Amino acid sequence: MDIIIAGDGEVGLHLAEALVRSNHNITIVDPHEELLKMVESHSDLMTITGDSTSTSVLLRANVKRADLVISVLHDEHINLLTCIIAKKLGAKKVIARVNTMENLSPEVWRMYQDLGIDGLLSPEDIAAQEIISLLKQNASLETYDFSGGKLQLFMVKLEQGAEILGKTVEEVSDQYQHIDFRIAAIHRRQNTFIPMGDDVFQVSDMVYVVTKPHAIKDIIHLSGKKQINIHNVMIVGGGRVGRITAKRLENDMNIKVLEMSKERCMELTNYLEDALVVNVDARNLDLLEDEGIKNMDAFIAVTDNTETNILTCLQAKSFGVKKTIALVENIDYIDISQNIGIDSIINKKLIAASYMVKYTLGAKVSSLKCLSGIDADIVEFEVRAGSAVTRKPIGQLSMPSDAIICGITRDGESYIATEDFQIEADDRVVVLALPNGISLVEKLFH
């Protein structure tokens, strides 16, 4: 695919790096010349310095031949205008990043479709939804729904005393075959792998499981974790992610939002109905204690500063808060953050990549998630008639070693993948793939 990415910083660069691994032709348009010089010195990406709303700049980027134009600048107005102009100049598909919730309403979305825009992305909106899912399934460090919740990705960290410690994958599968689940991947000491039958579970393994919803309680038990009741929630940071999260939770939980900016506090007070907004610096331990952090069931840090989010979550842990979630923008910090005790990590670059990558796959994809802290994607393919996966049972397919079929949804029913299961046209199939496996898997579903 010929892809143009318009950006003004790290989101665009991360997206380009994620896509170039899949052998796409990527051109980055960015107003910052120094940044692009650095990119050119470290990669084979094509770069053009300039304003993405300029027709001459887009024509230099060969927009007429572009299969996809993605605009992910911080200014949503530039993104929308870039996409409208690019479509008029001949780009096949265009996707814009937006920031305000108004732009995601059905009425406004229909208007943008009429103007030629094929997709709208709001990392902040998706981040808020991920936070809410993590609070609901709070024993999991990462969770994601497929086919409307018929299948779930569930990631747990194995605690001391977990029933499955010291057992092989094969032993666990045999002993607990009455539970509907499939072990998809293990992350251990900065290494992610799809386990074989003789791999042994160890303490602190991060285990990725695909399961049916009714089996989640059993999986939590096997991991040594416990689901907790969350009622009192403290959110640090009243920016877009914090504001959306508080709004969606305030009717179901006791929400307290801590925000340093007086001006933003006034806006939050007018926007939120039941949540309590406090103008305070959450980095101050005494003030955190005064605001009742010891009584909190969950602590969410979503300021614009990654270090602040990590440190305040660690402080919350020291006060006994059981569930902590941090917005971590530096991808290099994700693995460290999880290893030092923060329960769950949210990253907007990975969120953007999850949304965008599915548009670049030749096979039909209904959802895709780039997993936090590990270099892997979990994809839900829609099976086309005649595709290679429909010709043999799963156990006889030429699956790459870097990928695993986890589950299938058919006619509203979900199934955990087994060696003798026969995939059919119109099924939805959930696959976890490491970087080297995704393009090979895609061919099976094309």
Q: What is the CATH number of the domain that holds 284?
A: 3.40.50.720
In a domain, 20, yes or no: yes
Domain of 209 in residue numbering reads as 140-223
Q: Distance between CA atoms of 226 and 91, rounded to whole angstroms?
A: 50
**Last residue within a domain, chosen from 194, 223, 252:** 223
Q: Which two tokens stand for residue 262?
A: 């007086």
Q: Among residues 342, 277, 279, which one has the least CA distance to residue 314?
A: 342
Residue 266 lies in a domain: yes
User: Does 360 share its domain with 416?
Assistant: yes
Note whether 116 and 8 are same-domain residues.
Answer: yes
Residue 304, number of CB atoms within 10 A of its CB: 12
Domain of residue 189, CATH code? 3.30.70.1450
Tokens of 144: 């994601």
Domain annotation covers residue 302 = yes
Q: In this structure, are 19 and 110 located in the same domain?
A: yes
Answer yes or no: do 155 and 64 share one domain. no
Let me know whether 308 and 414 are in one domain: no
Give the per-residue pLDDT at 329. Answer: 87
Q: What is the model's pLDDT at position 375?
A: 75
Q: What is the mean pLDDT of each run of 10 residues along the chain (446 residues)?
A: 87 78 84 80 83 96 95 93 97 93 86 94 90 86 88 89 92 91 90 92 92 89 86 96 95 96 95 95 90 96 94 94 92 79 87 80 81 82 94 93 94 94 96 84 88
In terms of domains, do 300 and 360 share one? no
> Contact at 8 Å (CB) between 245 and 128?
yes
User: 252 with 231: CB under 8 angstroms?
Assistant: no
Q: Are residues 115 and 158 in the same domain?
A: no
- Examine residue 94 and state whether it is found in any structural domain, yes or no: yes
> What HEC string does the chain produce?
CEEEEECCCHHHHHHHHHHHCCCCEEEEEECCHHHHHHHHHHCCCEEEECCCCCHHHHHHCCHHHCCEEEECCCCHHHHHHHHHHHHHCCCCEEEEECCCHHHHCHHHHHHHHHCCCCEEECHHHHHHHHHHHHHHCCCCCEEEEEHHHCEEEEEEECCCCCCCCCCEHHHHHHHCCCCCEEEEEEEECCEEECCCCCCECCCCCEEEEEECHHHHHHHHHHHCCCCCCCCEEEEECCCHHHHHHHHHHCCCCEEEEEECCHHHHHHHHHHCCCCEEEECCCCCHHHHHHCCHHHCCEEEECCCCHHHHHHHHHHHHHCCCCEEEEECCCHHHHHHHHHCCCCEEECHHHHHHHHHHHHHCCCCEEEEEECCCCCCEEEEEECCCCCHHHCCCHHHCCCCCCEEEEEEEECCEEEECCCCCCCCCCCEEEEEECCCCHHHHHHHHC
**Domain presence at residue 328:** no
How far from the centroid of its chain's Cα atoms is residue 3's Cα? 21
Please answer whether residues 137 and 371 qualify as being in contact, where contact means their C-beta atoms are separated by less than 8 angstroms.
Answer: no
Query: Does residue 133 form part of some domain?
Result: no
| pLDDT score of 115 | 94
So what's the pLDDT on residue 91?
A: 97
pLDDT at 373: 66
Q: How many structural domains does the chain have?
A: 4
Looking at the domain assignment, is residue 74 inside a domain?
yes
Q: Is 114 found in the same domain as 20? A: yes
276 plus 363 within the same structural domain: no
Residue 344 maps to a domain: no
Residue 166 has a CB neighbour count (10 Å cut-off) of 11
* Same domain for 265 and 209: no
Q: Clarify whether residues 278 and 298 are in a common domain.
A: yes
Q: Tokens 């614009």 identify what position?
A: 304
Last residue of a domain, one of 121, 155, 177: 121
Q: Is there a single domain that holds both residue 150 and residue 113?
A: no
Domain end, chosen from 189, 223, 257, is at 223
